[in-house]
Amino acid sequence: MSRTEALFRDEPYLKSAEAAVLGINDRGGIILDRTVFYATSGGQPGDTGVLTRADGTAVTIAATVTGHTKDEIIHVPAAGAALPEPGERVLLEIDWERRHRLMRMHTACHLLSAICPFPITGASVGEDDSRIDFDLPETGFTKESVTENLMELVDADHPVFTRWISEADLAANPGLVKSKNVRPPSGAGRIRLVCIGEDASIDSQPCGGTHVARTGEIGAIHIGKIEKKGRENRRFRIRFGPLPAG
């Protein structure tokens, strides 16, 4: 198994980097020694972009996924792309506009989970529309009230940062895990927390995704729908822009 250094974990604003090709897997996926491309995980889609070879040939990357572990990052080329050779040096460039929208949206999802402190049964982050499903029997929440609370947190421009804790720390604080069915990967010895607010006063939860540095960067956001998805499941849809009138 090849381990790829995930530059995005500590530097989510890094748009490009140079890397060496470690190999091409049996499905044509490109494996590098380091990458700025986020791989699909935790409801956040993987990055798209371009690898440029030394001769100037561009290899379009249509998707980025993980292999057997989160440390095996596979860059999936578009159909028909000329694949680089192992040992080649390539320039990596992500589709930054798309990634930044996903970073803003993913951070907004964390804010929603702080406003609605219920077990999460599912989540999906999108460029324009995201959803979080909560284990919530009946709700007094409205689109208007949740949107107002979200925008208060956005406008307060709280800092967003990461810190690492041990697996023992997580075991001693099980409330940090908001997902009802998915546990953070264990065995690595440490867990990455994404924190919002001074001293994590707004939120703190395990997450391997990419996020903006301050909540103000999210911009206008609103709840488009609150849907009933079963007896004890409510789906909240988050969308960019102000809440439409009416």
In three-state form (DSSP H/G/I as H, E/B as E, the rest C), the secondary structure along the chain is CCCCEEHHHCCCCCCEEEEEEEEECCCCCEEECEECCCCCECCECCCCEEEEECCCCEEEEEEEEECCCCCCEEEEECCCCCCCCCCCEEEEEECHHHHHHHHHHHHHHHHHHHHCCCCEEEEECCCCEEEEEEECCCCCCCHHHHHHHHHHHHHCCCEEEEEEEEHHHHHHCHHHCCECCCCCCCCCCEEEEEEECHHHCCEEEECCCCCCCEHHHHCCEEEEEEEECCCCEEEEEEEECCCCCC
Residue stretches of the chain with pLDDT short of 50:
none
CA distances from 206 to 32, 100, 106, 120, 173 (A): 26, 20, 13, 13, 11
Whole-number pLDDT of residue 184: 63
Rounded Cα distance between 62 and 48, Å, is 5
pTM, two decimals, is 0.93
Given a contact cutoff of 8 angstroms between Cβ atoms, the answer to whether 238 and 105 are in contact is: yes
Whole-number pLDDT of residue 87: 95
Whole-number pLDDT of residue 69: 82
Whole-number pLDDT of residue 38: 97
Whole-number pLDDT of residue 173: 85
Given a contact cutoff of 8 angstroms between Cβ atoms, the answer to whether 113 and 120 are in contact is: yes
| Residue 91 backbone phi and psi in degrees, to 5 | -100, 130
Crossing angle for the helix pair 96-115 and 143-155, to the nearest 10 degrees: 110
Whole-number pLDDT of residue 185: 59
- Report percent pLDDT > 70 for the chain: 95
